[in-house]
Amino acid sequence: MALVINCNACHKKFKIPEKAATRIDLEQISGEYFRKTCLHCCVEKEYHINDVEAEADHTAKIISASVGIGIIFLVTLFAWGKGLVTNAGLVIGGAIIAAGWMAGSSTDNFNQYKTNRSRDVERDRQIREEMKYRKGDTNFEV
């Protein structure tokens, strides 16, 4: 699983180096708001943790698939050489492929949960206060 941000300047996705399983974990590492430089256009912008998305990591899938197939092949070859017939290689190799596939795909934990943007809430409160103030002003004139 890789964490990516959609760049505000060039609208391309770029990876961030932070490793976090959930958005809460990421907030503890980077804070709610943080600055990141886009790898494509090199523009530094401020982002919120809700701007971060988890993407399935295809490298993890490919590596685990190669290792899994390698183990199936080696164990089967070894067992064959000993005159044995075994499914052990198939089971172990299959488990590694499955685990790698799940690790590479498990983006739901991250993407499902979003936090409230505290700054937006604060701005909403300010706007409401201003409206109240203006209303009060009009009433005063009338």
Query: Residues in the site for Zn ion, rule: CB under 5 A?
Result: 7, 9-10, 38, 40-41
| 94, amino acid identity | G
Q: How far apart are CA 49 and CA 31, in angstroms?
A: 8
Q: How far apart are CA 92 and CA 77, in angstroms?
A: 14
Which CB sits closer to Zn ion, 10 or 131? Answer: 10
User: From the CB of residue 54, how many other CB atoms can be counted at a distance below 10 Å?
Assistant: 22
Shortest distance, position 54 Cβ to Zn ion, whole Å: 19
Shortest distance, position 11 Cβ to Zn ion, whole Å: 7
Number of H helices, E strands in the chain: 5, 5
Which CB sits closer to Zn ion, 19 or 40? Answer: 40
Shortest distance, position 94 Cβ to Zn ion, whole Å: 41
Which CB sits closer to Zn ion, 13 or 61? Answer: 13
